[in-house]
Amino acid sequence: MSPAPFPNVYVLRTAAKEGSCFICSKITPSLLLTAETGLAATPAAKDWFYCCPAHAKDPTALTCLNPPAPPKPAVVEPPPAKRNTTKKTTKAKKGDEGEASDKAASPEKTDSSGSNPAPVEEKPTLPSAPSEPQGPLKYALHRSLYYLRESQYQDKINHQKALEMAKRFPSVPRSLPKPR
């Protein structure tokens, strides 16, 4: 059996002109191109066809080779204000005698003036790394759809070869031969 004329890797793009879906014939601007060199927008794409977004998401028609990463939920830390208020209320209850012992016991928690407690240090949050662009979504066709695309491509090549062969054949005589 001959090797495949193009790999089963397609890139989803949006076309300037709408066309009918290869599978269901709905009008759609979405287009699948073969991705041979990684740059699917090049004229070297051997195969392309329109595919509606419903079939692009359908796992029975197309398999996504590089699915987009799900968004990471933001980490929310509890506000540190609750911790400070509880310390202030306990200090108020202890009175003047308790304040002197608290200041001596924990000098780093008090402010330079000595009356207000210093804010509790928050854990430094790592800056979210900018998500690297994964590029366009790549898909692999189901084997039956890929077979149809291969056979259509081969039919197109055979038709072009037949037209070239027809140019080399001699022409048909245009006039009737003269009787003797």
**In the chain, domain spans:** 10-67+134-166
For 58-102, the pLDDT digits (tens) are 888 998 888 777 777 777 776 666 555 555 555 555 555 555 555
Average confidence score pLDDT of the chain: 76
Q: How far apart are CA 86 and CA 80, in angstroms?
A: 11
- φ/ψ (deg, to 5) at 85: -65, -35
Are 62 and 55 in contact by the 8 Å Cβ rule? The answer is: yes
Provide the edge-to-edge strand list for the sheet that holds 48-50: 48-50, 27-34, 10-20, 138-141, 62-64
What end-to-end distance do the CA atoms of the chain give, in Å? 56
pLDDT at 40: 44
Give whichever of 115-129, 133-147, 152-166 has the largest mean pLDDT. 152-166
Q: Which amino acid is present at 81?
A: A
Enter the tokens of residue 50: 């329109």
